[in-house]
Amino acid sequence: MCLSMIRPNLDQVKGIATTGRYSVVPVSTEILCDFKTPMEVLKVLKNISGHCYMLESVAGQEKWGVLHFTEI
């Protein structure tokens, strides 16, 4: 099962764009997924854009890592 939510949503982006204060609006999503490995997800993103990177961090002895995918 994969769950994701894009932030800000489309209506919020349109609202920000109408102000004219910003030329770029960063958009992010967090994907919780139990049937794809991080490398599989990265491969999918690489097919969409060549500007995709994966950064991972684990603090101490935690079992869970934090993965960040960034497209520039």
pLDDT in tens, 42-68: 888 888 877 777 777 766 776 666 666
Q: Between β-strands 2-7 and 28-33, what pairing exists: parallel, antiparallel or unpaired?
A: antiparallel
Q: Which residues pair with 57 in a beta bridge?
A: 66
Residue 69 pLDDT level (bands cut at 50, 70, 90): low
pLDDT at res. 1: 45
